[in-house]
A and B are shown apart, each in its own frame.
Chain A
Amino acid sequence: MKQQFSRRSVLARIGAAMAGLLAAPAARAAKTAVQKVFVSSGAAKGYDVMKHKWLMCVDANKCIGCGLCAEACKKENNVPEGPYFRTWIERYVIPKPKPGSGETRGEPIVDSPNGGMHGFPPAAIPPSEIEHSFFVPKLCNLCEHSPCTQVCPVGATFDAPDGAVLIDPKYCIGCGFCIQACPYGCRFLNPFTKTAEKCTLCYHRITRGLKPACVEICPTQARIFGDLNNPVPDDPLQKFCDQNLVQVLKPHLGTEPRVLYAGLDKEVR
Chain B
Amino acid sequence: MRPFKLPPQILRLILLTLGIVGSYLVARAMLTPPSFHEYGWYRGEALEELSARTPVFAGKKACEECHSDILQKLGQFEHKTLSCEACHGVSREHADNNDILPVKLTGSHCLRCHEANPSRPKWFKQIVVREHYTGKCSECHVPHAPNQTP
Contacts and interface: CB of A to CB of B under 8 A. Distances in A.
Interface in B27-62: 29-31, 33-36, 39-43, 45-57, 59-61
Q: Which of B15, B51, B85, B124 has the most CB of A within 10 A?
A: B51
Contacts of B5: 4-5
B56 to A, nearest CB: 5
Contact of B46 (A13, A34, A166): A166
A208 B55 contact: yes
B121 A49 contact: no
A135 B113 CA distance: 13
A68 B56 contact: no
Contacts of A157: 42
Contacts of A61: 121
B3 interface: yes
A220 to B, nearest CB: 6
Interface string B80-122: 0111011000100000000000000000000011010111110
B127 interface: no
Interface in A7-60: 7-8, 10, 13-14, 17, 21, 27, 30-31, 34-35, 38-45, 47, 49
A110 B118 CA distance: 14
B33 A35 contact: yes
B50 A203 contact: yes
A219 B53 contact: no
A170 B49 contact: yes
B51 A134 contact: no
Contacts of A216: 57, 59-60, 83, 85
B94 to A, nearest CB: 15
A5 B33 contact: no
A35 B83 contact: no
A98 interface: no
B48 A45 contact: yes
Interface in B123-141: 124
A168 B118 contact: no
12 contacts: A10-B11, A27-B30, A38-B33, A41-B45, A64-B124, A133-B118, A160-B47, A166-B50, A171-B43, A205-B57, A207-B51, A213-B56
Interface of B: 3-6, 8, 11, 15, 18-19, 22, 25-26, 29-31, 33-36, 39-43, 45-57, 59-61, 79, 81-83, 85-86, 90, 112-113, 115, 117-121, 124
Which 5 A/B pairs are nearest by Cβ-Cβ distance? A42-B48, A168-B46, A204-B53, A42-B45, A133-B119
